[in-house]
Amino acid sequence: MVQGQAMNDVTAPSVAGAAATTTEAGRSANAIETHGLARRFGTTEAVAGLDLTVPRGSVFGFIGPNGAGKTTTIKMLLGLLRPTAGRAGVLGYDLATGSLAARARIGYVAENADLYGYMRVREIIAFTRGLYPRWDDQLVARYLELFGLPKDRAVKALSKGMKAQLALILALGPVPELLILDEPTSGMDPLARKQFLSTILREVAAAGQTVFMSTHILSDVERVADHVALLNRGRLVLADSMDHLKENVKKVRVVLAGGAPDDLGRWPGVRAVAREGRGWLISVESRLDEVRGRLQALDPSYLEVVDMTLEEIFVDYAGGERLVLG
């Protein structure tokens, strides 16, 4: 179903037709801010007190294993699901009072986007175009060509990946300020995934739009995101810019003849210390240069800074808990 009509239909790409009611709200520095946002289903704490900040203009990877609470968070941000606690602001609008106004500026592509199957591609485009006051025909034509989508084919005859591409085009048509993508590349082959993501990076982010993308495919996030957050069992395990993560989140392997200082685990920037053979393996989360400098002053017989992949970082932050991230 194509959205814009049904607020409780969570399976469609959309920009809701409501108009913004305040001008002040649109000027917030962050596209998304949540404070203690929570949602419970019976005894399941799907989202458990989430504090999240998504800067405007960022490509934000929202990562987590199956059941982590990603879709639940997204539904709350869209005003489709009521939080049981906490609050959230989207594009400067308070979710509790202004979710319709925010929705007018959001493009949304749901997981397994469910489109009107009986329409042809060009028909669903014309239909969706009619729902919105603003629509970029040139952009839509360019994407259709880029993805090679056949305009005369019935939507139900498109492959899963092609449907995802079409859903993205329909969400981008109204030129949203914020694009929310829930597992956008699931079902796509590697080539289609690469093309889809490079499009997002090149076109959408370059135009200053914010992209908030949930996924459990780490390589996708590594490819396009400039910010990342890891959710596990409804809780935020880590949130940072990619640059800061890559530069600061490291392990330092050190052997100190005189033994490790008692307070090593409490040094600023040190997250954990583990014994490893004759030395120590120190998990550093910030202030890498400072930590290294302090260790060097202790005259170590061996010191090595070890880079971590995104996957290693996430597994480490999840406390050794198994993350199935694909």
Q: Is 70 in the site for ligand ATP (CB under 6 A)?
A: yes
Residues that bind ligand ATP (rule: CB under 6 A) add up to a total of: 12
41 binds ligand ATP (CB under 6 A): yes
- Give yes or no for residue 113 binding ligand ATP (CB under 6 A): no
Which of residues 4, 69, 83, 184 is near ligand ATP by CB under 6 A?
Answer: 69
In the list 103, 163, 193, 216, the residue contacting ligand ATP (rule: CB under 6 A) is 216
For residues 280 and 274, is the Cβ–Cβ distance under 8 A? yes
The span of 20-28, 60-68, 120-128, 159-167 binding ligand ATP (CB under 6 A) equals: 60-68
Choose the stretch contacting ligand ATP; rule: CB under 6 A; options: 61-69, 102-110, 117-125, 311-319: 61-69
Contact region with ligand ATP (CB under 6 A), list: 64-72, 131-139, 190-198, 312-320: 64-72
Sort residue 259 into left (φ over 0), alpha (ψ -120 to 50) or beta. left
User: Which of 5, 21, 66, 296 is in the footprint of ligand ATP by CB under 6 A?
Assistant: 66
The full 3-state SS of the chain, as one line of letters, equals: CCCCCCCCCCCCCECCCCCCCCCCHHHCCEEEEEEEEEEEECCEEEEEEEEEEEECCCEEEEECCCCCCHHHHHHHHCCCCCCCEEEEEECCEEHHHHHHHHHCCEEEECCCCCCCCCCEHHHHHHHHHCCCCCCCHHHHHHHHHHHCCCCCCEHHHCCHHHHHHHHHHHHHCCCCCEEEEECCCCCCCHHHHHHHHHHHHHHHHCCCCEEEEEECCHHHHHHHCCEEEEEECCEEEEEEEHHHHHHHCEEEEEECCCCCCCCHHHCCCEEEEEEECCEEEEEECCCHHHHHHHHHCCCCCEEEEECCCHHHHHHHHCCCCCCCCC
Q: Does 46 bind ligand ATP (CB under 6 A)?
A: yes
- For the chain, the C-alpha Rg in angstroms (whole number) is 22
- Give the distance from CA 208 to its chain's centroid: 16
Smaller CB distance to ligand ATP: residue 66 or 198?
A: 66
Report, in Å, the least distance between residue 51 CB and ligand ATP. 17
Q: Does 232 bind ligand ATP (CB under 6 A)?
A: no
Cβ nearer to ligand ATP, comparing 53 with 84: 84
Site membership for ligand ATP, residue 64 (CB under 6 A): yes
Q: Does 72 bind ligand ATP (CB under 6 A)?
A: yes
Least distance from ligand ATP to the Cβ atom of residue 119, Å: 27
Residues 243-302 that bind ligand ATP (CB under 6 A): none
Under 8 Å between Cβ of 287 and 248: yes
Contacting ligand ATP (CB under 6 A), which of 44, 159, 296, 301? 44
Query: Does residue 22 bind ligand ATP (CB under 6 A)?
Result: no
Smallest separation, CB 178 to ligand ATP (Å): 19
* Under rule CB under 6 A, residue 71 binds ligand ATP: yes
Q: Is 83 in the site for ligand ATP (CB under 6 A)?
A: no
User: Residues in the site for ligand ATP, rule: CB under 6 A?
Assistant: 41, 44, 46, 64, 66-72, 216
